[in-house]
Structure 1
């Protein structure tokens, strides 16, 4: 099941929304590869991209939160740090065990599910806070 960047995922911040689109696209690319029997081959590319890109993206989000004095910044940053550990754990498993179907499923549930939920709940709060300051 591919993920769609829908209206309910928009934060209203052009940079953040475009980065969210790229993250969702990376997960969708993995799902497409899986549906054509190439999921294991694509797994390393996807996890490496997610590890690098989430660090960049979270940094941009956190900078925006600091600039706008987001009151729940500390918790939001902790969510980001926890997620980076999940991605690092998946990368470590990939390194140790190689690409497996189980790991592909983990990327889909642990990473894609978390991203969608985080954008809808936490990033939406940040966006609302920023809009309220305008």
Structure 2
């Protein structure tokens, strides 16, 4: 399965939308590399980069939501904390188990699907407040 950004994920903030697209691209790359049983070091590098990228994106997005006074800013922040916990658990499992089939499924269900749902149900609420305040 390949995760694709589409118009239903638009936040109204081009920079945030671009970050979402890149996040999905990175998740797809990690998923493909795990399915192809790439080397442990290559996968560890991808996981490390993805973790850092997600944290930076979350910080950017939370700041935008706060500035724009988005009503779901707190829900968004709590969701990001949940993702970080899931990602850290995923990373620990990877370090001990390697790219097992069950870990690939966890990546899909717990991380990739979570990102898609979060964007569609929380992040897109930014669109309703985009024109109410300065970026």
State TM-score, norm by structure 2: 0.86
Measure, in 1, the Cα distance between the counterparts of 2:29 and 2:73: 31
Residue deviations 1:47-96 (CA, integer Å, cap 9, x gap): 22221111100000010011111223222111111111000110111122
Measure, in 2, the Cα distance between the counterparts of 1:110 and 1:24: 14
State TM-score, norm by structure 1: 0.86
Give the structure 2 partner of residue 70 of structure 1: 70
Give the structure 2 partner of residue 19 of structure 1: 19
Higher relative contact order (CA 8 A, sep 6+): 2
CA RMSD, Structure 1 to Structure 2 (Å): 1.9
Residue deviations 1:5-38 (CA, integer Å, cap 9, x gap): 1111221211101111111101221333355x33
Could you list the runs of 4 or more consecutive aligned residues of structure 1 that deviate by over 4 angstroms after TM superposition? 39-42
Structure 2: which 5+ runs fail to align? none
Q: Is the 8 A contact 2:5 2:24 kept in 1?
A: yes
